[in-house]
Structure 1
Amino acid sequence: MTAAEPSPEICFFLSYARPPSAAGEHWVRMFFKELQAQVAHEARRAGRLQPGGELGQGFADFLPRGPERDTAVARALGSARVLVPLYSPEYLERSTTRRERATFLQRVMNGSDSPPWWRIQAVLWTPVSATGHVSDLSRALELGEDFPEYTRHGLETMRRLSEHREHYDAVVRRLAGRIVAAAHQPLPVAAEPVAEADVPGQAPAEAATPFVIAVVAPSEGELPAQRQPACYGLHSVLWRPYRTSHLLGIADRTAQVARQFRMPDRIVDFADRDHLLVMYPGVILIDPWILAREDGRRRLQAAVEIAVSRQWVTLMVVVDRNDPQYAGRGSDLAREAMSMASAAQGSKLTREALEFEQNISRVVARNRRRYLSERPPPDGPPPTPRPRLRDPDDTGDPADPGPDPTVGEDR
């Protein structure tokens, strides 16, 4: 069976932005053919074949435009066990590809507050900027993070150039193994296509309040000379302070929590200035190592000013007490960051993954509630900040905390 003839059960749906030329699509077709063959091989090797002897076919939209194509795509999205999006700037800009992803997510969320993210096996096809970030981009980068050419150029370039073929094959094998493992799980029922206004990445509908997750952290290209690069990525939003506990970056993990409250997420680099926090509730996640940069205090002070002026924004200084660089320089920077952040009401310091998990749900719930009760009317002026009593969700934290005296201690 070919990609143009979707079977009742589709193993994986390859979602991609159609290139402007046939030459560009040639590489997508080659990748799809090789991935489909490798999925079949991995299924046989893992003993996870269906009764008919096949795990199922992949589907990629190589069909000409028309009603038959629309029907085939809808049928495949309604039965595919895994979505494989090929992330590129074009993919994140087009409403059709974003809608495919959103429709699949809506389906796999059926009966659950949060989707099983292992059903989306994303690929970095060509490099994507931080402004085009989606909540599972860090997983696309993680797929081939041990191959520098993957994170630098993307899988398409690796397929084009013979010098990268060995590493390209390794990434395809890894991806196929993950698809087979995910496809073996029970399949949710089909969902109705997502409306245009509900597609992530577009302006939110009036009734949908986004939760903004802004990150103040160095990218791997702007790290201070003494900072080890292990928990950083190409962009600030890919920062993973708890990399030994969380596969996801900390912004992605926060986005999952926001979706549990039925809020669409917006993950942004605070340095881009288009952070939307003056308009919507959110959290600013701060890496104290930003203060080791010459412009670090200015960047952190800008975040503090936003949080001071908006009751629905919380500053969270995030460190890992198990980081080898935490003792000494790391704890000094954390103390300095909290000293600055304490100007904003309810600022928090988290020093381990479990503490972050306990805090972030309370922060999302509280800021959503504050926003809904204090937001200005349409076209009205921003609200005037006013003193508040201690929030009942702030268990264990004073309303206006100073620097944490235990920063740097090992308990």
Structure 2
Amino acid sequence: MPLFFLSYARIPGDRRTGHDPDRLVFDFYEKLRDRVATHAGVPKAKAGFVEQPGTPGDESVRALTGCRVFVPLYSKRYFTDSLCGRQWTAVTNRTAPGTAPRIVPVLWTPYPAASVPTAVQDTPAVPEGTGDAEEAYAAMGLHQLLDLEEGQALQVTEWLAQRIATAAAAGTWAPGPLDPAGLARLPDAFAATPPSPPLRITVLAPSEERLPLGREAARYGPRPLDWRPYGPVAGGPVAEQVTELARNLGFDPEVVSFDKTLVELRGTDTPAAPWILVVDPWALHDAKVARQARAFDEAYRPWTAVLTALADDDPQTKEHSERLRGLLESAFPRYLREGRMGQQFAVRGLVTADAFALWFGELAESAYMRYLRYIQPQSSPRSTMAGRLPGVGADGLGTDEGGAEARP
């Protein structure tokens, strides 16, 4: 029996044309099998198994039920594939009492937090270390890394091979009987609806009673949560908009006060959720608020993100954009210095409502993945890469089709 079984979601396509849409899966499998064989000291033929077109069903089932390590290629497609869900059930159900299934997942392509099935949430794909290869893997997944960064892809493959060889040698081994018909009757482990992951949101903005001298009150209300940075054309207050955006992404959002944010960041207790701070730069004219913002920046945590609305349809904001940008640079130097490129753009200011909505989604999911990595064991981050979101320019103030980090 093979040491590992590679489980993947097949991409539909006409393989008779000679172009297999799963080519990268098989290329990766060959590299991984070679490295596992080396680390485990076994022949390549016994190191791994992957089901290829034409593989007999009984051969695949024997490999699945006899393998020592299950290696799923995580992607949004994987979590909706019923065969993959049944394979997961077969592996986790065949384990003897008192033993844990040995699963070494691979982040194949990044996926929305809300797509992760309940059965998988305790087994996320995790890069170890904080080097360039790990960050790139966490950001774009191995599929894209194999196409763009061969050297980094090889580093990740080597790390995965070491994990698989170690897992195969550890603990007890409990293969279980199953036939192809039995596999088809197993329940899909991914069919259950996962619970919504938490997300905290804080709006840092003045109320209409606490505006800086000369600032017009048209976009404000009695509470900071009434702030409407992009005017009436964008809908209701920004707090309502981001809450709805978070729900659409599959999160369970909670809007909390800035004071609560600071207390939790300064405390020693494990934070309950990733955090998004939405900033009106006009609020930073208040010395107390500016000090609080700097305290947030000094407590910089990987599972937090800052988004600034610097609307170009607001004549006052547009006129004073240089001064407002200076206030942001003074309040959030660490986010601007240490954050990834997209985070830096988001801090400097998003000029359109569309750009703001897109970046909120990007950074909410990135913060959640980083929360999993740093707060929960065996978890992974996912951050954004440079390139394709509209409304953000190289100066952070934005253009209609300016450069930004691309969605992983």
Bucket of the pairwise TM-score, normalised by the shorter protein: 0.3 to 0.5
Give 1 or 2 for the bigger CA radius of gyration: 2
Q: TM-score of the superposition, structure 1-length normalised?
A: 0.45
Q: TM-score of the superposition, structure 2-length normalised?
A: 0.46
